[in-house]
Each structure stands twice: as structure tokens, then as C-alpha cells.
Chain A
Amino acid sequence: GAGVSQSPSNKVTEKGKDVELRCDPISGHTALYWYRQSLGQGLEFLIYFQGNSAPDKSGLPSDRFSAERTGGSVSTLTIQRTQQEDSAVYLCASRPSGGGSYNEQFFGPGTRLTVL
């Protein structure tokens, strides 16, 4: 079946511009995560959505970052007034809830963001 998809795969933008990154999770997965992967830094948690509950935004690095999830499916991560330090690969993952909270995550291929 279809996996997690992300778009665009690559995004080059100028400092100060806003960007939107999209994630389409696996159908039926109620949990959705956004991570940022910088070279040598591992995975940095950004935000977590679970069903209709309020998202856990504890990982967002600044108020320039926001995310929403519409209809419990597609999610958009928005970065306003981009800075060069925002350059990274942004990964989305979804997880099924049935069977227990210990289910593994399914990751998308990521969006590589470059801020010039």
C-alpha cells in the first residue's frame, strides 16, 4: 500500500520567505509526527498530532514554526521568515494507534529545505 508521502522533496528559498511543507500520512494512521534532521544532529522532534487531541508543540524551536492537520489526515508544517539555520531535512512520520502505543512509526522520504 501507499506509504507516507511528503512534498516538495526539495525546497530552496531565500532568507525571510515563508515555506509550507506537506505530509500525507498512511490512511487510517491517527498519530502524526514532524521531525527535523540536521547533519550530525540526529532527529529533532518538532510536533505531534494524535486524533482530535490538541497537538504537542513542545519541540517547535520558535514561534516562526507552526503546523496543522486538517481532517485528521494531511498535515502542513509552516516556517515563517525563514532563516539559514532552518536549513535541514524535515521528516514526517505516522503511526497506527490500533494495537497499542508501542507501534512503530512509518516515515516519509523527507523534504530537504535550503535557505539561502
Chain B
Amino acid sequence: AQSVAQPEDQVNVAEGNPLTVKCTYSVSGNPYLFWYVQYPNRGLQFLLKYITGDNLVKGSYGFEAEFNKSQTSFHLKKPSALVSDSALYFCAVRDASGGSYIPTFGRGTSLIVHP
């Protein structure tokens, strides 16, 4: 079985400050991990993914995420937030060793960046 948790419904940060959106996961084998962003009235857009290799993954719009196997976490980070980063962020996981090609998505975290 696979599952993912985003413990914060909402994250507030001031523009220019660093931001972190948290994600923890559970899989039987090794994980494939994804972050997506959803702007209002739009579909989800891919930000970055971890498959294997370096634990620090860099993605679109200056975002990065760090895979931590011991803590089963994949937190999304950005050094300096922009107002335009305000959106809904989804973490997703898929068990690399499972037979299913269906990822499990978290409930989403609303990021609000204040000017």
C-alpha cells in the first residue's frame, strides 16, 4: 500500500522569505515522488520528481525538494518566495516496486505568499 500526507492545509509566508511545504510518504518499496502546483481554475502542473540518485532535486520556478529516506519525507522548498508562488501544491507518491501505475496524491497545501 502507498500513502502520502501533507500535514499543513495552509502555509503563509512573506515575500522574499524561504518557504517549505511538507510531505511525508509511505510505500512498501522504493518511492517515486512528485510535486505538482495548481493555480486557480487550472489543472495541475508538474514541478519536480525524485526517482533515484541525488537526494536534492531541482525543478521549475526555482523550487527544489529534498528526499529523506530515513524520515520518509520529500519537502518542497524555495529560498525566496514570490507572491506569484501563491497556489495549491500537491505531493504524490508511487511505489516503484508495485504493479500499479497509479500515484497517490496528498490532499494539497495552499501556499499564500504575502507582499
Contacts and interface: CB of A to CB of B under 8 A. Distances in A.
Interface of A: 4, 31, 33, 35, 40-43, 45, 48, 50, 56, 59, 91, 93, 100-102, 104-110
Nearest to A33: B102
Nearest to B33: A102
B107 A41 contact: yes
Contact of A31 (B101, B104, B105): B101
Given A4-B43, A102-B94, A45 B32 contact: no
B102 A91 contact: no
Interface of B: 32, 34, 36, 41-46, 49, 51, 90, 94, 96, 100-108
Contact of A42 (B41, B45, B51, B106): B106
Nearest to B104: A45
A109 B42 contact: yes
11 contacts: A40-B107, A42-B105, A42-B107, A50-B101, A59-B102, A91-B44, A101-B94, A102-B51, A102-B96, A104-B49, A105-B36
